[in-house]
Amino acid sequence: MYNSFIFDLDGTIIDSEIIGLTALQETLKEQGIEKDLDQLRFSLGIPGLKTLEILNIADIPTTLESWLNKEKPLLKNVPLFEDIIEVIAQLPKAGVVTSKTAEEMNSSFYLLNIDHHFHTIVCASDTERHKPHPEPLELGLKLLDCKPNRAIYIGDSIYDMECAKAAGVDFGLALWGAKTTDGFEDANYIFKTPNEILNLIKK
């Protein structure tokens, strides 16, 4: 059915979202901007630069640097979701399409020593346009030499689903990261646990 399984990273493979949100909250607080974590959840799944633009931050470069510096010590030991790597190791071909930049990947993902499980990795530094635009996923498909109808994109955010639909790729919701199915009525699959993904290679 599918020969390529492409994954989002934050909230899908690594349990990092609270780290990023807390670091952002602390960074904004230093500028006198008070936001609770729920008010910042819109940032999950899009690049940090875009987040700060939406928040109308005056000095984006300095703020982004402060945010990343707060994240770095915590991301070095970011936990993986239970069973996710064991599942990925059993898939025919796997890839990552993430909104993290190359710098962020070097400070987190590549320190986990799991990159060898993936045939290709696309980050925000690799494309001009980002999720929910299909360009990152389209690049992932190209690198995997895979047609859209032979791939599935698995993620936890609305941006992930919109990106998949725009690229003509089926979407699977990682419920272990999303925590809710609200807004994901168009998802092709809802996976309660990573192990449920393996059902797709048994068909």
- Looking up residue 171, the CATH number of its domain turns out to be 3.40.50.1000
**Sheet with 94-97, edge to edge strand ranges:** 120-122, 94-97, 4-7, 151-155, 170-174, 189-191
Residue 203 clears pLDDT 60, i.e. is over it: no
11 lies in the same domain as 24 = no
Shared domain for 107 and 139, answered yes or no, is yes
Q: Closest Cα to residue 44, out of 84, 11, 6?
A: 11
62 and 106, same structural domain? no
Average model confidence (pLDDT) across the chain: 95
Q: Is residue 178 domain-shared with residue 123, that is, in the same domain?
A: yes
Tokens of 55: 């928040």
Q: What is the mean pLDDT of residues 64-68?
A: 93
Residues 117 and 193 in one domain: yes
Which CATH number do you get for residue 44?
A: 1.10.150
- Quickly state the pLDDT bin for 77 (edges 50, 70, 90): confident
Q: 39 and 89 share a domain?
A: no
Domain's final residue, options 75, 106, 122 = 75
The reported pLDDT for the residue numbered 45 is 83
Classify strands 189-191 and 170-174 as parallel, antiparallel or unpaired: parallel
pLDDT of residue 74: 86
Whether residue 68 is found in the same domain as residue 85:
no
Which residues does 63 contact at the CB level (< 8 Å), separation at least 6?
Answer: 27, 31, 52, 57
Regarding whether 171 and 113 lie in a shared domain, the answer is: yes
Q: For residue 153, list its beta bridge partners.
A: 6, 171
Task: Summarize the confidence of residues 2-26 as an average pLDDT.
Answer: 95
Assess whether 105 and 127 both reside in one domain: yes
Task: Give the end of a domain, one of 25, 44, 75.
Answer: 75
- Residues 62, 103 share a domain: no
Q: Is the pTM of this model over 0.85?
A: yes
Supply the range of the domain harboring residue 90: 4-15+79-201
CA atoms of 30 and 91, how far apart (whole Å): 44
- Domains held by the chain: number: 2
Encode pLDDT of 18-38 as tens digits.
999 999 999 999 999 999 999
- Helix and strand numbers (H, E) in the chain are 9, 6
Residues 107 and 66 in one domain: no
Query: Are residues 50 and 68 located together in one domain of the fold?
Result: yes
Q: Spell 49-69 as b/e; 16+ CB within 10 A means b.
A: bbbbeebebeeeeebbebbbe
Last residue of a domain, one of 29, 52, 75: 75
**pLDDT (tens digit per residue) in 104-140:** 899 889 999 999 999 999 999 999 999 999 999 999 9
pLDDT at 192: 98
